[in-house]
Structure 1
Amino acid sequence: MAQQYDEISDRLAEFIGKQHLFFVATAARDGRVNVSPKGLDSLRVLGPQRVVWLNGTGSGNETAAHLREVNRMTLMFCSFERQPLILRLYGTATEVQPDQPEWDSLAGLFPPMTGARQVYDVSVDLVQTSCGYGVPFMEFAGERPLMEQWADKKGPDGLEVYQREKNVRSIDGFPTGLRV
């Protein structure tokens, strides 16, 4: 049975802190819905209604484009070990890019990430848990080093070129607002 809360409790913040994977969902008014898996050490709970997550350079930049159209975001966490649980955080988000004053303090909450392009500062207005009975057991085997290796190999200039080519428009043609 789903339960709804106004804020992230200490118990749920502890659960979030133990997760190796979360999912981000966004959608513009028109076009495709985007759901992206996120890993690495890229999320922090900063308060009962505030979460931030660090976003690396990827094959697209749907989240940024969608937020410019409709500012809504859902984060989902699933327990793959022990006690079943699905946790969703609903809210709005502010995008912070490396040229903004808040960047250093927010990006500084995370280990360095070559190719980091945004921090999303999420204001949570609804927290929902559900049973998770249908989620399989899975074991965490470790982080993949491939994203960091890829970004290191490209270097700063190569990442900038890649972002200009792949990250300034969504797959539906919406601008992402990425300043490269």
Structure 2
Amino acid sequence: MAKQFFTIGDRHRDFIAAQKIFFTGSCAAGARVNISPRSTEHLHLLGPNAVAYLDLTGSGSETAAHVKAEGALTLMLCAFDGPPSILRLYGQGRIAFRGTPDYRDFLDRFYGGAEPAGARQIVFLAVDLVQTSCGYAVPLFDHVGERPILDRWAKAKGEEGLRAYRAEKNAVSLDGLPTGFREP
């Protein structure tokens, strides 16, 4: 049932575009495995072997720490409506922090240069393997909409409040691994 590909093809792009949620999976030696849900609102295809997403401020930064330590990263998307399917993108991650040229270029390309509220970094994935599988056991769900809570929280914190929050919460992982996070 599982099929493997070395590039993101047209069917894969269409599938990704139809989804509302994706999951990141990362780990580093001696650290806990991290799996995080994300809205596809900020997931962007860059080419046949590259994707990236705008990562919003959160209570931790496990993905950044794991990418810094090991580099391996997996993104998974599941069909929660329509025909069943699972798509995994495997590869090496890279983080572009706020204020870096790659961060600014990404914002210029996908957000007209504007920085969405709470934005903290861009997670790039150089894809070396695409795998699809049946998804027969994935339950059906209806998408109701995006939650506005994080956006409201970030706006209420303001830029200085977000800087202080990220400095306190995003410098190291749950297991004490450095994330490489820095403010511009």
Q: TM-score, normalised on structure 2?
A: 0.95
Gaps of 5+ in 1: none
Distance in 2 (CA, whole Å) between partners of 1:61 and 1:121 is 15
1:8 and 1:121 mapped to 2: Cα distance? 15
User: Which structure 2 residues correspond to residues 146-161 of structure 1 after superposition, within 5 A?
Assistant: 146-161=149-164
Q: Could you tell me which of 130, 144, 158 is aligned with 1:127?
A: 130
Match of 1:107 in 2: 107
Q: 2:65 aligns to what?
A: 65
- Cα contact 1:17–1:44 (8 A) shared by 2: no
> Where in structure 2 are there 5+ consecutive unaligned residues?
none
Mapped partners of 1:138, 1:79: distance in 2 = 9
Provide the residue aligned with 1:170 in structure 2. Answer: 173
**How much does 1:107 deviate?**
2.3
After superposition, the C-alpha distances for 1:18-60 in whole angstroms (9 at most, x for unaligned) are 1110000010111100000001511011111010111000010
Contact kept, 8 Å, 2:22 with 2:40, in 1: the verdict is no
Aligned to 2:79: 79
Partners of 1:28 and 1:126 lie apart in 2 by 19
1:53 alignment partner in structure 2: 53
Alignment of structure 1 residues 131-150 onto 2, 5 Å: 131-150=134-153
Aligned twin of 1:38:
38
Contact preservation (8 Å) 2:5, 2:129: yes
User: Aligned AA for 2:73?
Assistant: M
Greater per-residue helix proportion:
2
SS across alignment from 1:59: coil
Distance 1:3 1:40, change over 3 A: closer
Structure 1 residue ranges, 4+ long, deviating more than 2 angstroms after superposition: none
2:123 counterpart letter in structure 1: Y
Distance 1:177 1:96, change over 3 A: same
CA gap of 1:40–1:125, structure 2 versus 1, over 3 A, is: closer
Distance 2:79 2:85 in 1: 5
Q: 1:140 to 1:112 in 2, by over 3 A?
A: farther
Deviation at 1:112, TM superposition (A): 4.2
- How many residues of Structure 1 are paired with residues of Structure 2 in the alignment? 180
Report the 3-state secondary structure (helix = DSSP H, G, I; strand = E; otherwise coil) of the residue aligned with 2:77.
strand
Q: Deviations 1:80-106 (Å, cap 9, x if unpaired)? A: 111000000000022111121121221
- Tell me if the contact between 1:43 and 1:51 (Cα under 8 Å) persists in the aligned partners: yes
Residue identity matched to 1:178: F
Q: Provide the C-alpha distance between the structure 2 equivalents of 1:139 and 1:129, rounded to a whole number of angstroms.
A: 22
Equivalent positions of 1:92-103 (< 5 A) are: 92-103=92-103
Quick one: distance in 1 between partners of 2:3 and 2:32? 28
TM-score by length of 1: 0.97
Percent of pairs identical after alignment? 46
